[in-house]
Amino acid sequence: MKKISAKLKFWGVRGSIPVPGNDFACYGGNTSCVELRCGETIIVLDAGTGIRPLGLSYLKEFGDKPVHFNILISHSHWDHLQGFPFLSHIYIPGNSVTFYGGHTVNTLEKLVMTQLSEEFHPKQLYELSADIKFVELKKNNFSINDVQISFTHLLHPGLSLGYRICYKNHVFAYVTDNEILADEKMAHHNWENIGSIIKGADVVIHDAQYTDEEYKSKLGWGHSSIENVVKICNKFRVKNLYAFHHDPLHTDKDIKKMIKNARKLANKELKVYAAREGVELLFY
Ligand SMILES: [Zn+2]
Ligand SMILES: [Zn+2]
């Protein structure tokens, strides 16, 4: 049997706010969290509410064995950070977390410290049992064990980072909370910048919160229409696109319809899917 080299699993795919309920049961209601395992290295992309069920599954898988999480944060908007206080492992000694993220006026450490201040949460950051570290990403191209990572700044209010993650012969790109401008000629810099992160990738996870129709009234909100995302993925020869950061108003039915329409725009080499909670992709 061929050995699994990397594994990617969606734990939270929703944008903005969690949405429980029957209308969202297929794609899921938890906010941004994607697990990427490269050999023994555990990378978690964002700490939305999906990180809670991820932690619960790790308790089952690893038992008492200490776990080291490398959490890459796209940005500090609430839907990308709100699950962290509910990751079980931070209350168990022996576990450790390294956060990676950008620096605006505040450091990521200060923002997480605020999240875990007594006004918002009963336990404070420095009372946690796990060892928590913060790495501010100033220099591009860094590695976590044998995983190579580069990043770019996205088009989103505040600071948002998109990541390109290379492991062995696999290339993954995580680009959420990003606005792809419609007109490639007008938005040359925008397209080339995102192109540097997604080009030739096996898997691109990209914000596709709106339809073109909805996007008309959402210019400047920092999210993309699925049509524009397919166009840029066509141009940069992406193999598999996973539409991500689903709008909290979009029901399962709406998302299915969006994907059906988006597939009509994709070229032959590009496969388009909607990111769905619980889906696991294996790479050999
Ligand atoms: Zn978001
Ligand atoms: Zn955001």
User: What pLDDT, in 10s, does the model give residues 75-86?
Assistant: 999 999 999 999
Q: What is the DSSP letter of 24?
A: G
1 falls within a domain: no
State in Å: Cα 101 to ligand 2 middle: 14
Share of the chain above pLDDT 70, in %: 100
* Ligand 2: centre distance to CA 77 (Å): 5
What is the model's pLDDT at position 162?
A: 98
List, in sequence order, every beta strand (DSSP E) within the chain. 6-12, 33-38, 41-45, 68-72, 96-101, 131-136, 142-144, 147-153, 161-167, 170-175, 203-207, 240-244, 271-274, 280-283
Q: Identify the pLDDT of residue 1.
A: 76
Q: Render pLDDT for 32-79 as a digit per residue (tens, 0 to 9).
A: 999 999 999 999 999 999 999 999 999 999 999 999 999 999 999 999
Average pLDDT over residues 244-273: 98
Residue 72 maps to a domain: yes
User: How far is the C-alpha of 139 from the C-alpha of 1, rounded, in Å?
Assistant: 40
Identify the pLDDT of residue 191: 94
pLDDT number for residue 184: 67
Pairing type for strands 240-244 and 203-207 reads parallel
CA–CA gap between residue 253 and residue 22 (Å, rounded): 11
**pLDDT tens for residues 129-166?**
999 999 999 889 999 999 999 999 999 999 999 999 99
Tokens representing 187?
């938005």
Q: What is the pLDDT of residues 239-258, one digit of tens each?
A: 999 999 999 999 999 999 99
Find the radius of gyration of the CA atoms of the chain.
Answer: 18
Q: What is the DSSP letter of 27?
A: T
Calculate the alpha carbon distances from 173 to 87, 95, 112, 146, 204 in Å. 24, 27, 24, 17, 5
The answer to whether 198 and 204 have CB atoms below 8 angstroms apart is: yes
Position 105 scores a pLDDT of 81
The pLDDT assigned to 183 comes to: 75
The answer on pLDDT for 28 being more than 80 is: yes
Residue 138, in any domain of the structure: yes
Cα(16) to ligand 1 centroid in Å equals 5
CA 121 to chain centre: 24
Cα 234 to ligand 2 centroid, rounded to whole Å: 25
pLDDT at 92 exceeding the cut of 80: yes
Question: What is d(CA 66, CA 22) in angstroms, rounded to the nearest whole number?
Answer: 36
Report the distance separating Cα 234 and Cα 143, nearest Å. 28
Distance CA(74)–CA(255), nearest Å, equals 23
- Residue 25 is assigned to a structural domain of this protein: yes
CA dist 281 and 202 (Å) reads 11
185 vs 138: CA distance, rounded Å: 30
Is 140 domain-assigned? yes
In the chain, pLDDT over 90 holds for what percent of residues?
Answer: 94
CATH number of the domain to which 121 belongs:
3.60.15.10
Classified as helix, coil or strand, 23 is: helix
Domain that holds residue 240: 6-283
Q: Which ligand is nearest to the CA of 75?
A: 2
Bin 243: left if φ > 0, else alpha if -120 < ψ < 50, else beta: beta
Q: What's the number of domains the chain is made of?
A: 1
The letter for the amino acid at 187 is A
Q: Is 184 helix (H, G, I), strand (E, B) or coil?
A: coil
Residue 194 domain flag: yes
Q: Please tell me the distance between residue 92's alpha carbon and the centre of ligand 1 in angstroms.
A: 29
> What is the pLDDT, as a whole number, of residue 103?
83
Ligand lying closest to the C-alpha of residue 14: 1
Say how many CA atoms lie within 13 Å of 187 toward its Cβ: 14
- Ligand 1: distance of its center to the CA of 155 in Å? 12
- Residue 198 is predicted with a pLDDT of 98
pLDDT tens digits along 180-239? 998 767 788 999 999 999 999 999 999 999 999 999 999 999 999 999 999 999 999 999
Q: How many A from CA of 15 to the centre of ligand 1?
A: 5
Check: CB of residue 226 under 8 Å from CB of residue 15. Answer: no
Q: Which helix (H) or strand (E) holds 214?
A: helix 212-215
Within 13 Å of residue 2, how many CA atoms lie on the same side as its CB?
A: 6
- Summarize the confidence of residues 10-20 as an average pLDDT: 98
